[in-house]
A and B are shown apart, each in its own frame.
Chain A
Amino acid sequence: MTDTTFTQATARGWLRSQSRWSPFEIIFWLALLLPFFLFPTYLPLASQIAIAALFALSVDLILGYAGIITLGHAMFFGLGAYCAALLGKAGWGEPISGLLLSGLFAGIIGFIASFIIVRVQHLALLMITLGLGLLTQELANALTWLTGGTDGLRIPRTWPIFNYFRFDLWGYTGYGYTLAVLFICFLLSRRIVNSSFGLALRGVRENIKRMPAIGSAYQSHQQKIYAISAAMAGMAGALLAQTTSTVTLEVLSFNRSADVVVMLILGGTGRLYGAIVGAIIFLIARDQLAGVNPQYWYFWIGLLLMVVVLFMPKGILGFVSRLAGRRD
Chain B
Amino acid sequence: MAETKPIVLQTEALTKNFGALQVTRSVSLKLPHGCRHALIGPNGAGKTTLINLITGQLKPDSGRIILDGNDITDAPVAARVRKGLTRTFQINTLFPDLTPLEAVTLAVCERQKVTGQFWRGLSAQQEAIDEAYDILEKLKLGDVATRTTRTLAYGRQRLLEIALALATRPKVLLLDEPAAGVPKDESQMLFSVISSLPEDMSILFIEHDMDIVFRFASRIVVLVAGGLLVEDTPDAVRSDERVREVYLGQAHHG
Residues of A within 8 A of B (CB): 2-4, 6-8, 10-12, 14-16, 18-19, 191-192, 194-200, 202-203, 206-207, 209-218, 220-221, 224-225, 228
Q: A214-B167, A214-B168 are in contact. Are A196 and B128 (CB under 8 A)?
A: yes
- The size bracket of the interface on B is 35 or more
Shortest Cβ distance from residue A55 to the other chain B in the assembled complex, whole angstroms: 20
CB-based contact B109/A200 at 8 Å: yes
- Residue numbers in A under 8 Å from B122 (CB-CB): 15, 18-19, 194-196, 198-199
CB-based contact A215/B95 at 8 Å: no
CB-based contact A2/B129 at 8 Å: no
CB-based contact A12/B123 at 8 Å: yes
CB-based contact B102/A6 at 8 Å: no
Q: Does B118 contact A (CB under 8 A)?
A: yes
Residue from the list A2, A19, A220 in contact with B116, Cβ < 8 A: A220
Chain B residue at minimal CB-CB distance from A221: B115
| Contacts beyond the supplied A11-B130, A214-B81, A218-B78: 18 A-B pairs with Cβ under 8 Å | A7-B133, A19-B121, A195-B118, A196-B114, A197-B116, A199-B105, A199-B106, A200-B115, A203-B98, A207-B96, A209-B93, A212-B81, A213-B55, A213-B164, A214-B106, A214-B107, A215-B81, A216-B78
- Residue numbers in B under 8 Å from A6 (CB-CB): 142-143, 145
Residue from the list A19, A210, A211 in contact with B123, Cβ < 8 A: A19
CB-based contact B123/A16 at 8 Å: yes
Residues facing A in B136-154 (CB within 8 A) are: 142-143, 145-146
Chain A residue at minimal CB-CB distance from B169: A215
Residue from the list B95, B126, B129, B167 in contact with A207, Cβ < 8 A: B95
Q: A14-B101, A198-B122, A214-B164 are in contact. Are A224 and B116 (CB under 8 A)?
A: yes
Q: Does B87 contact A (CB under 8 A)?
A: yes
Could you show 30 A-B contacts with beta carbons less than 8 Å apart?
A3-B143, A6-B145, A8-B129, A8-B130, A11-B132, A11-B145, A14-B145, A15-B105, A19-B121, A191-B119, A192-B119, A195-B121, A196-B105, A196-B125, A197-B116, A199-B102, A199-B105, A199-B122, A200-B110, A202-B97, A202-B98, A206-B96, A206-B98, A210-B94, A212-B56, A212-B77, A213-B81, A216-B115, A218-B78, A224-B116
Shortest Cβ distance from residue B74 to the other chain A in the assembled complex, whole angstroms: 15
Shortest Cβ distance from residue A114 to the other chain B in the assembled complex, whole angstroms: 14
A197 to B87, CA, bound (A): 23
A192 to B118, CA, bound (A): 5
CB-based contact B130/A213 at 8 Å: no
CB-based contact B107/A215 at 8 Å: yes
